[in-house]
């Protein structure tokens, strides 16, 4: 059983007393959800405090956290064997099974489970295991699901490389092999290579995180619209709109970046717009992979 909770301090400003009381309740909730786990009160209390946002209302943030999931994650990060076993069965295996239903030709379930556990629980030098990055915003199962999807893609790529040698060019040279059938566009690509790279990078940085992630899932992870929708628990039509709008925003941003960097005639500008469209996917792949 976990250690008993302590009473909140009586001194300090009202806001601090309210937060202290809320932390005590949160610790009790976590311990009640996982009575078989050994987690010290002070350890879990500090674990919660470390995951409160630096700005905003900490009390509201605490109340919105998935406390029970954080309690299990805290125990796993500490290396508690029973916590790791529960995490494996209730979260990893369930997420792997769900992923397998949407990817019938995917890796074996046992291989996937092992890979996900290594990604989330293995030491990382001076850093804690990656599971420590779960901050309780949303459920742990949805958070694990993202790792499962990416682990499956990594494993499939590894298995594919064992069968087919990788003869592709380095990511930094992707634009160089993206030749077109238009001599004018090829000339512009060679002549303005650095400007293109800088413009794409600046436009990509201006996208919001969801837009960048939508492009990454679509172009790097090669997820289908249905898989992206399932990943974010939205309809496939919503996922399709996200990708379309992200692409349009990236194109528009790149155009504006180039317009400010280059002094071009209208004819040259029209040709470069065609080139931007033709190079979009391969440039995004390079930037999001780096």
Domain that includes residue 158, residue range: 1-167
Q: Are residues 59 and 153 in the same domain?
A: yes
Q: Are residues 21 and 159 in the same domain?
A: yes
* Contact between 97 and 145 (Cβ < 8 Å): no
* Contact between 203 and 257 (Cβ < 8 Å): yes
Q: Are residues 38 and 151 in the same domain?
A: yes
* Contact between 207 and 246 (Cβ < 8 Å): yes
Q: Which residues contact 224 (CB under 8 A, 6 or more apart)?
A: none
Quote the pLDDT of residue 44: 96
Quote the pLDDT of residue 66: 94
What is the spatial distance between Cα 62 and Cα 51, in angstroms, rounded to a whole number?
9
The CA–CA distances, whole Å, from 10 to 13, 21, 42 equal: 9, 10, 17
What is the spatial distance between Cα 63 and Cα 48, in angstroms, rounded to a whole number?
11
The pLDDT tens digits along the chain (290 residues) read 454 445 555 555 657 899 999 999 999 999 999 999 999 999 999 999 999 988 889 999 999 999 999 999 999 999 999 999 999 999 999 888 877 765 555 556 777 888 888 889 987 788 889 999 999 988 898 888 888 877 776 666 555 544 444 434 433 333 443 444 455 555 556 666 777 778 888 888 888 888 888 888 787 777 788 878 777 777 888 888 888 888 888 888 887 887 777 665 565 666 666 666 666 666 666 666 65
Quote the pLDDT of residue 35: 95
* Tokens, residue 153: 């893609």
Q: Which of 149, 167, 185 is the last residue of a domain?
A: 167
Q: Are residues 159 and 177 in the same domain?
A: no
Q: Are residues 141 and 207 in the same domain?
A: no
* Contact between 48 and 26 (Cβ < 8 Å): yes
What is the spatial distance between Cα 229 and Cα 243, in angstroms, rounded to a whole number?
11
What is the spatial distance between Cα 162 and Cα 221, in angstroms, rounded to a whole number?
19
Beta-strand (E) ranges in 57-113?
A: none
Quote the pLDDT of residue 106: 53
* Tokens, residue 180: 């077109």
Quote the pLDDT of residue 183: 54
Quote the pLDDT of residue 170: 37
Q: Are residues 161 and 47 in the same domain?
A: yes
Q: Are residues 25 and 142 in the same domain?
A: yes
Q: Are residues 123 and 17 in the same domain?
A: yes
Quote the pLDDT of residue 199: 80
Quote the pLDDT of residue 49: 95
The pTM (predicted TM-score) of the whole model is: 0.54
Q: CA torsion, points 223, 229, 235, 236, in degrees to nearest 10?
A: -10
Quote the pLDDT of residue 178: 41
Quote the pLDDT of residue 163: 43
Q: Are residues 158 and 22 in the same domain?
A: yes
Quote the pLDDT of residue 71: 97
What is the spatial distance between Cα 256 and Cα 272, in angstroms, rounded to a whole number?
12
Q: Are residues 222 and 180 in the same domain?
A: yes
Q: Which of 115, 137, 167 is the last residue of a domain?
A: 167
The CA–CA distances, whole Å, from 133 to 47, 111, 127, 184 equal: 11, 23, 10, 48
Helix, strand, or coil (residue 127): strand
Q: Are residues 192 and 234 in the same domain?
A: yes
Q: Are residues 45 and 178 in the same domain?
A: no
Length of the chain: 290
- The count of structural domains within the chain is 2
What is the spatial distance between Cα 73 and Cα 133, in angstroms, rounded to a whole number?
10
Q: Which of 140, 167, 194 is the last residue of a domain?
A: 167
The CA–CA distances, whole Å, from 37 to 23, 80, 233 equal: 19, 8, 31
Quote the pLDDT of residue 171: 38
Quote the pLDDT of residue 158: 59
Quote the pLDDT of residue 2: 52
């Amino acid at each position: 059983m976990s250690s008993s909770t302590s009473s909140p301090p009586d001194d300090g400003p009202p806001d601090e007393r309210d937060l202290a009381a809320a932390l005590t309740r949160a610790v009790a909730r976590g311990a009640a959800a996982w009575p078989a786990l050994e987690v010290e009160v002070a350890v879990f209390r500090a674990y919660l405090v470390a995951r409160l946002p630096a700005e905003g209302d900490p009390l509201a943030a605490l109340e919105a956290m998935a406390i029970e999931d954080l309690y299990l994650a805290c125990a796993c990060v500490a290396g508690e064997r029973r916590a790791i076993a529960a995490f494996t069965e209730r979260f990893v295996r369930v997420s792997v099974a769900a992923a397998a239903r949407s990817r019938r030709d995917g890796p074996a379930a046992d291989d996937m489970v092992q890979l996900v556990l290594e990604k989330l629980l293995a030491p990382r030098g001076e850093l804690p295991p990656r599971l420590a990055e779960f901050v309780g915003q949303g459920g742990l199962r949805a958070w694990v699901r993202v790792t499962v999807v990416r682990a499956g893609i990594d494993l499939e790529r590894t298995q594919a490389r064992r069968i087919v040698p990788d003869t592709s060019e380095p990511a930094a040279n992707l634009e160089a092999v993206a030749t077109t059938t238009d001599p004018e566009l090829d000339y512009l690509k060679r002549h303005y290579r650095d400007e293109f790279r800088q413009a794409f990078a600046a436009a990509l940085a201006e996208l919001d995180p969801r837009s960048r992630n939508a492009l990454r899932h679509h172009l790097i992870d090669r997820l289908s619209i249905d898989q992206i929708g399932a990943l974010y628990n939205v309809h496939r039509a919503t996922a399709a709109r996200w990708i379309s709008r992200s692409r349009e925003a990236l194109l528009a941003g790149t155009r504006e970046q180039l317009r400010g960097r280059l002094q071009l005639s209208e004819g040259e500008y029209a040709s470069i717009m065609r080139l931007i469209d033709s190079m979009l996917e391969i440039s995004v792949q390079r930037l999001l992979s780096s």
